[in-house]
Structure 1
Amino acid sequence: MATVSPILEHRKHDHGRCTADAISHAREICDAEGLRFTDRRREVLAALLESHVPASAYEVIDRLGETGHRPAPVSVYRALDFLVEHRFAHRIESRNAYVACDRGADCDDEATLFLLCEKCGAAGEASSAALHALIADVTGAVDFAPKAPVVEIRGLCAGCR
């Protein structure tokens, strides 16, 4: 059974709570694992959390520039690399963009599906143990070690259908 992020479900989405929960989750994980959750990393995560529509690094820079000093691209890319490495954000390969992880503690090492709405641009994520097992079977049969099993599915979210 898949675990789906709330953004693509039919219920009303409390974006303020979603944002606060994601930042709190990142801070808790960093504290527990001895990672540095710097101001820049928090700012970049907050910029990603402004929308569930994936943003390019330069869109993140633009968002941060609206609130004051426009950061150097290298500092934003470093923050994005950190957020992706620790699963606080994900890179959407087909869009060359990033989206904050909105599943909190539910984000695990299973295969991740990104459900990408072609109309509004929203991205939701889901995990699937069954898909993870299938990928492990297929890659194991050819002695291939997958690093980041990700599937991107384009379509229409419930709100746009």
Structure 2
Amino acid sequence: MNTRSDNNRKHADHDHAACIADALADAESYCRHRGLRLTPTRRRVLEIVWRGHDPVKAYDILDELNRAGRRATPPTVYRALDFLMDASLIHRIDSLNAFVGCPLAGGEHTAQLLVCSRCETVKEIDDPAIRGILDQGASRYGFLLEPQTVEVRGVCSRCRGHSE
């Protein structure tokens, strides 16, 4: 199981500026190697998504772009978000109607997102065993699963009063 404990961390030992820089560099490299255009607007949207490690809503992104003088419209933001999701650089969290950066950016994978019901913290894991169980269950009914994001709600250790 690949867990990314650095995803969504808010600890003193976390160099968040380096985290954002790494995510942007990975995205630029991924897009360049696949002939995808990471335009300045798409890059800025990705940067906003990564900035806090917390889920961010599309209209919050729009507000941030407009505060920076970009004169963005909702379709501009949603097109950028669609591009970033299609490129597997971010995930949409349906239950929160928000977006988070993907620490396993690029390439198809079935993301499993752990969403805290209390504080809305999100952690991503990529466990092939979980995908295998889903594939087995689906195959019993003749389904072939497509890459997708699976959301699992629960309560994080911080909200339960335990350290991570």
TM-score normalized with structure 1 length: 0.87
Q: Distance in 2 between matches of 1:54 and 1:9?
A: 13
Q: Distance in 2 between matches of 1:44 and 1:10?
A: 21
Partner of 1:133: 132
Q: Secondary structure at the match of 2:65?
A: helix
Question: Offset at 1:72?
Answer: 0.8
Unaligned runs of 5+ in 1: none
Q: Distance in 2 between matches of 1:78 and 1:110?
A: 22
Partner of 2:7: 7
Q: Distance in 2 between matches of 1:125 and 1:68?
A: 32
Partner of 2:122: 123
Q: How does 1:68-79 map to 2 (within 5 A)?
A: 68-79=69-80
Q: Which moved more, 1:49-58 or 1:23-32?
A: 49-58
Contact 1:52 1:124 in 2 (8 A): no
Distance 1:14 1:155, change over 3 A: farther
Q: Deviations over 1:99-136 (max 9, x none)?
A: 111234xx654432111223432212111110111111
Q: Distance in 2 between matches of 1:16 and 1:10?
A: 12
Partner of 1:44: 45
**Count of residue correspondences:** 159
Distance 1:114 1:87, change over 3 A: same
Contact 2:55 2:98 in 1 (8 A): yes
Q: Kindly indicate whether residue 99 of structure 2 is the aligned counterpart of residue 98 of structure 1.
A: yes
What residue identity is the alignment partner of 1:35? L
Partner of 2:147: 148
Q: Which is bigger in relative contact order (C-alpha 8 A, separation at least 6)?
A: 1
TM-score normalized with structure 2 length: 0.85
Partner of 1:31: 32
Question: Offset at 1:8?
Answer: 5.4
Partner of 1:21: 22
Unaligned runs of 5+ in 2: none
Distance 1:119 1:15, change over 3 A: farther
